Amino acid sequence: MITVICGKEKGGHRLKLKGKVHKYGANVDTDAIIPARYLNVSEPKELAKHCMEDIDKDFVKKAKSGDVIMATTNFGCGSSREHAPLAIKAAGISCVIARTFARIFFRNAINIGLPLFECAEAVDNTENGDVLEIDLSSGRIKNLTRKMEFAAKPYPDFMAELISANGLIEYTKRVLAERRI
């Protein structure tokens, strides 16, 4: 196991971010993240206008660049639509922290470069509106409001490799290049 290295900036600098928490409960589904009625387009900026609309209609107004979405269990359940992590990312959200994620959402987020952290301790000790500081490379999560610190579950090696390749498309390019050698 190695530590989380997602969200690395170009040049490999460690990336720390600070943002306010928008906290939700269990089983936030992809219809809640981006309702299907808006899926007649796939541009992330267009999708972002309707992010979380049906369960939190002011989310887009409230969310500031760098903010964090937090939820309890099974975040992103339902449809396979990649539009869901694309909408969250384009809404300015820097990462999502939950106890557990639905599996297709988890893959999609990693593939498109939206960092996710599984950290039950952080979820249990953070309230809506708290400010977090997150070290994307180590998975250390600081709750600045409550002066507490948590460690996210590390990614398995293979996923860390995918993330360090900057997502699945770049990883696939590399695999294809190796095949040609």
Partner 1 sequence: MSLAEKILSAHADRRKVSPGEFVSVRVDLVLANDITAPIAIREFRKIGVKKVFDPKRIVMVPDHFTPNKDIASAEQAKMMREFCYEQGVIHFEIGQMGIEHVLLPEQGLVLPGDVVIGADSHTCTYGALGAFATGMGSTDIAAAMATGYIWMKVPPTIKLVYHGSLGKWVGGKDLILYTIGKIGVDGALYSSMEFTGGAIDSLSMDGRFTMANMAIEAGAKAGIFRVDNKTQLYIKSRAERSYRVYEPDNDAEYTRIIDYDVSDIEPQVALPHSPANAKSISQLGDIEIDQALIGSCTNGRLEDLRLAAHILRGRKVHSRVRCIVIPGSQQVYLDALTAGLIEIFIRAGVAVSTPTCGPCLGGHMGVLASGERCVSTTNRNFVGRMGSPQSEVYLANPAVAAASAIAGKIISPDEL
Contact positions vs partner 1 (CB under 8 A):
27, 29, 31-32, 35-37, 39-42, 53-55, 73-74, 77-83, 86, 100, 102-104, 107-108, 111-112, 156, 158-159, 162, 167-169, 171-173, 175-176
Cβ neighbours of residue 123 under 8 Å, at least 6 residues apart? 70, 71, 72, 97, 98, 99
Containing 140, the helix (H) or strand (E) segment is strand 140-143
Helix (H, G, I), strand (E, B) or coil at 98: strand
Q: Cβ 43 to partner 1, closest distance in Å?
A: 10
Nearest to partner 1 of 18, 38 (CB atom): 38
Nearest to partner 1 of 102, 134 (CB atom): 102
Nearest to partner 1 of 144, 169 (CB atom): 169
Nearest to partner 1 of 64, 103 (CB atom): 103
Nearest to partner 1 of 40, 147 (CB atom): 40
Q: Cβ 55 to partner 1, closest distance in Å?
A: 6
Q: Cβ 110 to partner 1, closest distance in Å?
A: 9
Q: Is 168 left (phi over 0), alpha (psi -120 to 50) or beta?
A: alpha
Angle at which helices 157-164 and 103-112 cross, to 10°: 30
Place of tokens 């040609």: 180
Residue 9 is classified by DSSP as P
Nearest to partner 1 of 45, 146 (CB atom): 45
Q: Cβ 144 to partner 1, closest distance in Å?
A: 31
User: Kind of pairing, strands 131-135 and 140-143?
Assistant: antiparallel
Q: Cβ 33 to partner 1, closest distance in Å?
A: 10
Q: How far is the CA of 102 from the CAs of 7, 45, 73, 90, in angstroms?
A: 20, 24, 8, 20
Q: Cβ 120 to partner 1, closest distance in Å?
A: 14
